[in-house]
A = this chain, B = another copy of it.
Amino acid sequence: MTQDHKQQAEAEWWSTAIIEMEPGVIRYRGYPIEELIGRASFAQMIWLLLRGELPSRDQAALLDIALMAAVDHGPQAPSIAIARMAATCGVGLNNAMASAVNVLGDVHGGAGEQALEFYFGIAEAINGGAEIEAAAASALDAFFADGGRFLPGFGHRFHPVDPRAPRLLAMVDDYAKKGAVSGHYATIARAVESALARCKGKTVPMNIDGATAVIYAELGFPPPLARGLFCLSRSVGILAHAWEEMQSGLRNKGPLPRERLWNYLGPPQRPVIGLEEG
């Protein structure tokens, strides 16, 4: 590698199509920031940075709805509890947010991503000629045959019906009527809900993750961004709880008040034998 090629390689090591800068100039995806400010909303900027183009007003409105609907589910969620405990440990709000967002993993924050993949699989089968009910039923069969237990996006361990899901789906219907989105994934998700009810012998209604996944699918987001966008959304609740707790003045808040200890399950007291001192 010549010196020139080496410099070239280094110059290209840090590359991006998101942002361009010169002294006094900032452009996102080609748009000067000073033209965006006052014209593009926060939701439009999120879309622009993630997708490369500005969304229509309706697309941005639907994205905004998915983001506003998932902000918080209370301190029983590990992410929120972590944010609150972190806020009492002498770290900054940014650190409390980080410890909390960090746990939005496959189990806690991944259901939207997994639901999106599930819907996309059904859509592909439909594209290949399958009928929607058959495609949904067959995807479900495959899920359970593969050892799946909880279908991502359906059912809730606390809410018999998640109050967010029907309202979100109604919004999708409204935007589909306006022609802003196709409504195809709302139909698919409802077919999944029906097939699941037949399969389980009882209704297992769509939850927030299943419903926001419909929105993200309608808007054309790839599955991993369903998780990314959920992280943005839940960061709001995480911040709010961290801030509320920070004002409590508690120090080193644990999961239980300090009088309460955990349940010890290990061996009883025993002496250390066979290890010499020092």
Contact = CB atoms under 8 A, between A and B. Distances in A.
Contact of A235 (B26, B161, B231): B231
Contact of A267 (B30, B89, B101): B30
Contacts of A82: 82, 85-86, 99
B98 A272 contact: no
A37 B10 contact: no
Interface string A254-271: 111111111111111111
A94 B113 CA distance: 12
Given A6-B259, A65-B37, A101-B94, A239 B50 contact: yes
Interface string A142-174: 000000000000000111111110111011001
Interface in A4-19: 6-7, 9-19
Contact of A9 (B12, B95, B259, B264): B259
A19 B72 contact: yes
Interface in A219-278: 224-225, 227-229, 231-233, 235-237, 239-244, 246, 251-272, 274-278
A229 B76 CA distance: 24
- Among A93, A100, A233, max chain B CB count under 10 A is at A93
A10 B173 CA distance: 43
A41 B38 CA distance: 16
A104 B101 CA distance: 14
A23 B232 contact: no
A36 B68 contact: yes
A74 B159 contact: no
A66 B75 CA distance: 28
A94 B254 CA distance: 19
A103 B85 contact: yes
Given A54-B275, A85-B81, A239-B231, A265 B15 contact: yes
A15 B243 CA distance: 13
Interface of A: 1, 6-7, 9-21, 23-46, 49-50, 52, 54, 61, 64-65, 67-69, 71-79, 81-82, 84-86, 88-110, 157-164, 166-168, 170-171, 174, 224-225, 227-229, 231-233, 235-237, 239-244, 246, 251-272, 274-278
